[in-house]
């Protein structure tokens, strides 16, 4: 097997458009980060001009702000609210339709559209780690998810190593960033005058071969390494350990759960933006003509009343139990299910919580009281 990770070259900044052209030529729709409605969201790229040149993101608990720094870099920002999750595990989709036939029999048809091959530009290391977890859940399950698997197979991932984490990021403490180490087709290190581009797959190699690459100098490699080290040093939040299973399960009656519940709105924002959360519900929607119905799947959350409804009663009727469920599962139960924590340190749940609840602070408070 060839080692695709060794294919590397330097792409001069003004040639970046050629990467988009090469991907389009291979049949990919390119999507990437764009500034919209005061946030950074993934959208179809018409060209390099759609990428967020000179944009930085300032984030804090309950705060996300787009700022312009007059620079020329395309990837000088920390993540927006979306991860790769909505592209694969879509917020709402039709699983099947049923129609009454001429003799009254029920005719089922599965919704199985052919997904558009999609290249995502600017993927961060934390989101690659989250993708690995989502793959475990949706593809490596006993019964793989058909829609997710089809979309995943047609995804081309262009990672960009993070050099400017937000105040809310803590991927270094979970071991999931800021540099991408696997799971990508291409990875870029952005420097002032261009990009060190490296392939991580055969498809990545094929795209690299279409680009006007130059040899990478020792100075360029040194700059990229220093930028990664700087991104680690910028992160000051952390979880109290890699495996919090025992800590959380031995503190189920800790008063901190009550304290956080007094602030939490049970809105579910944290689970929507979390790149690893995978809970959903299914529902049927009959057509008004009573001849057909659609069966939907849509995102659900630990924080909804219906999510813990079991035949006649709600298992988790209050916010204390719902918040506790979210954290004990994400940081504890996942170790039993998937062999690691369900948190990749992206910090989204901190930025997008309307009341600024900070997962690192909440777990830290329980850990501090237990030592």
**Site residues for ligand SF4 per CB under 6 A:** 264-270, 273-276, 303, 330, 343-349, 353-355, 357, 359
SS3 assignment, position 295: strand
d(CA 146, CA 152): 10
- In the bound state with ligand SF4, the residue whose beta carbon lies nearer, of 54 and 356, is 356
- The closest alpha carbon to 232, from 176, 270, 288, belongs to 176
- In the bound state with ligand SF4, the residue whose beta carbon lies nearer, of 23 and 302, is 302
Query: Do 267 and 303 contact (CB within 8 A), yes or no?
Result: yes
Asked whether the CA dihedral 173, 245, 128, 304 is positive or negative, the reply is: negative
- In the bound state with ligand SF4, the residue whose beta carbon lies nearer, of 208 and 270, is 270
- In the bound state with ligand SF4, the residue whose beta carbon lies nearer, of 152 and 348, is 348
d(CA 306, CA 70): 47
The minimum distance between CB 138 and ligand SF4, in angstroms, equals 17
- In the bound state with ligand SF4, the residue whose beta carbon lies nearer, of 97 and 300, is 300
The minimum distance between CB 169 and ligand SF4, in angstroms, equals 8
Longest dimension (CA), the chain: 75
β-bridge pairing 118-123 and 155-160: parallel
The minimum distance between CB 237 and ligand SF4, in angstroms, equals 9
Exposure of 310 by Cβ count < 10 A (0-12 exposed, 13-18 middle, 19+ buried)? exposed
d(CA 73, CA 119): 20
Q: Which residues pair with 336 in a beta bridge?
A: none
The minimum distance between CB 349 and ligand SF4, in angstroms, equals 3
- In the bound state with ligand SF4, the residue whose beta carbon lies nearer, of 357 and 366, is 357
- In the bound state with ligand SF4, the residue whose beta carbon lies nearer, of 204 and 347, is 347
- In the bound state with ligand SF4, the residue whose beta carbon lies nearer, of 26 and 266, is 266
Distances (CA, A) of 155 to 47, 140, 218, 332, 366: 19, 17, 32, 30, 40
The minimum distance between CB 348 and ligand SF4, in angstroms, equals 4
Asked whether the CA dihedral 50, 29, 124, 190 is positive or negative, the reply is: negative
| Residues contacting 271, CB < 8 A, separation 6+ | 277, 279, 299, 301, 302, 303, 326, 349
The minimum distance between CB 359 and ligand SF4, in angstroms, equals 5
The minimum distance between CB 336 and ligand SF4, in angstroms, equals 17
The minimum distance between CB 239 and ligand SF4, in angstroms, equals 9
């Amino acid at each position: 097997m060839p080692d695709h990770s060794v294919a590397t070259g330097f792409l001069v900044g003004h040639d970046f458009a050629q990467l988009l052209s090469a991907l389009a030529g291979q049949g990919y729709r390119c999507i990437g980060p764009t500034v919209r409605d005061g946030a950074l969201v993934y959208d179809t790229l018409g060209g390099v001009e759609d990428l967020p040149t000179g944009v930085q993101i300032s984030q804090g608990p309950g705060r996300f702000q787009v700022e312009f720094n007059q620079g020329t870099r395309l990837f000088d920002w920390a993540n927006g609210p979306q991860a790769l999750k909505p592209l694969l595990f879509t917020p709402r989709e039709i699983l099947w339709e049923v129609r009454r036939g001429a003799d009254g029999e029920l005719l089922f048809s599965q919704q199985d559209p052919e997904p558009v091959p999609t290249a995502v530009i600017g993927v961060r290391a934390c989101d690659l780690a989250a993708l690995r977890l989502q793959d475990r859940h949706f593809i490596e399950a006993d019964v793989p998810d058909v829609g997710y698997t089809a979309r995943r197979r047609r995804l081309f991932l262009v990672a960009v190593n993070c050099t400017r984490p937000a105040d809310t990021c803590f991927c270094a403490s979970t071991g999931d960033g800021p540099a991408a180490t696997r799971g990508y087709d291409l990875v870029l290190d952005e420097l002032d005058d261009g990009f060190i581009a490296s392939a991580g797959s055969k498809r990545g190699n094929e795209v690299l071969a279409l680009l006007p690459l130059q040899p990478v100098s020792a100075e360029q490699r040194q700059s990229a390494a220093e930028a990664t080290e700087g991104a680690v040093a910028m992160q000051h939040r952390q979880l109290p350990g890699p495996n919090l299973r025992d800590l959380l399960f031995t503190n189920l009656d800790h008063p901190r759960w009550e304290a956080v519940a007094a602030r939490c709105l049970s809105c579910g924002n944290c689970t929507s933006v979390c790149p690893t959360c995978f809970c959903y519900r299914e529902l049927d929607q009959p057509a008004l003509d009573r001849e057909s119905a659609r069966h939907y799947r849509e995102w659900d959350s630990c924080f909804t009343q219906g999510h813990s409804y079991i035949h006649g009663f709600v298992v988790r009727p209050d916010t204390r139990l719902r918040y506790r469920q979210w954290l004990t599962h994400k940081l504890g139960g996942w170790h039993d299910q998937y062999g690691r924590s369900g948190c990749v340190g992206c910090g989204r749940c901190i930025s997008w919580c309307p009341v600024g609840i900070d997962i690192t602070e909440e777990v830290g408070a329980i850990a501090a009281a237990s030592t």
